[in-house]
Amino acid sequence: MSFQYLNPRASPKFKDRYTTKADESRLFYEKGRKGDIGVVGLPFSKSSISFSMASEAPKTIRKALGAFSTYDGSRDRDFSEVVWLDYGDVQTHPTDLEETLHRLKQSVTDMIDTEACSRYIVLGGDHGISFPSISAFQKKYGRVGVIQWDAHHDLRNLDDGGRTNGTPFRSLIEAGVLKGEDLVQIGIRDFSNAKAYSDYAKEQGVRFYTMGDVERQGLDAVVAKEIERLKDKVDIIYLSVDMDVVDQAFAPGCPAVGPGGMTSRELLSSVATASRHTLVKAMDIVEVDPSKDVRDITSRLAAHVMMRFMYQ
């Protein structure tokens, strides 16, 4: 029988013939297939020091891309030709943290080794995923510079609880993967950190900017200045976007929300500024908890962060 208005294989959603949605530019990775951006999900949040279901974020962020078109009106350009290859999500171990970290690093390495794309996006997960992800990029490309958008230093000690979402950058520094001077932290928020970790950052040569610094100097200016400083020192630049850098009014779906953060426009503008540089090779987006979100506000903002990276 031929159905006039039914299709068991397709969604009944409306389709405008002149509009391409960002999720329509996705192809699933197959051997020999090429794309512009490689995307992998690291759905892990068991290392979070607060309750978190950030492991659900990769699928909600991908879904959110279906709400936005590929046309940028400010530049009068359609980016529908930009293809992102989806490598899927890593199968994590149900109980073994170290095994999961190994799987995350191996999977990011596997994606890079296909050489099917020129740039990459890693969807977390909590911020603990940055340790294996950045380690994989360092092994492949050499010296890595990191620009981190975050309310927190994530330089906690490893004695109180081991590797958590509060320790990725201390883990990277102490493992010799990342030099302190090659780490830039932007958006560090008042009453969200301990003095010991601010002191540790200074001792290691980390460049960090509080929200007060951002207000005085300008966010885009800070990003441009630090990329200029890093470009002659590192082989690639990796962007790490912790969504809790955004004020809780604009990103309610984070485990560690708080007032006094960036606006969504500030985050998007600064990510776009960074992403235009040729040395910027990869980005992760972390700390989106769909169970705490309201009308997918935070997942949709994370999808826009992806698009600012993809569409340059």
Known binding residues are: 127, 150, 152, 154, 242, 244
Q: How buried is 20 (Cβ within 10 angstroms: 0-12 exposed, 13-18 middle, 19+ buried)?
A: middle
Annotated binding site for Mn(2+): 127, 150, 152, 154, 242, 244
Cα 28 to Cα 8, 24, 75, 156, 165: the distances in Å are 21, 11, 29, 37, 29
Would you list the DSSP string of the chain? ---SS--TTS------TT--BGGGGEEE--TT---SEEEEEE---TT-SS---GGGHHHHHHHHGGGSBSEETTTTEE-TT--EEEEEE----SS-HHHHHHHHHHHHHHHHHT---SEEEEEESSGGGHHHHHHHHHHHHSSEEEEEE-SS-----STTTSS-TT-HHHHHHHTTSS-GGGEEEEEE-TTSS-HHHHHHHHHHT-EEEEHHHHHHH-HHHHHHHHHHHHTTT-SEEEEEEEGGGB-TTT---STT--SS-B-HHHHHHHHHHHHTSTTEEEEEEE---GGG-STTHHHHHHHHHHHHHH--
Q: Which residue has the tokens 């340059």?
A: 312
Token pair 């997960």: residue: 125
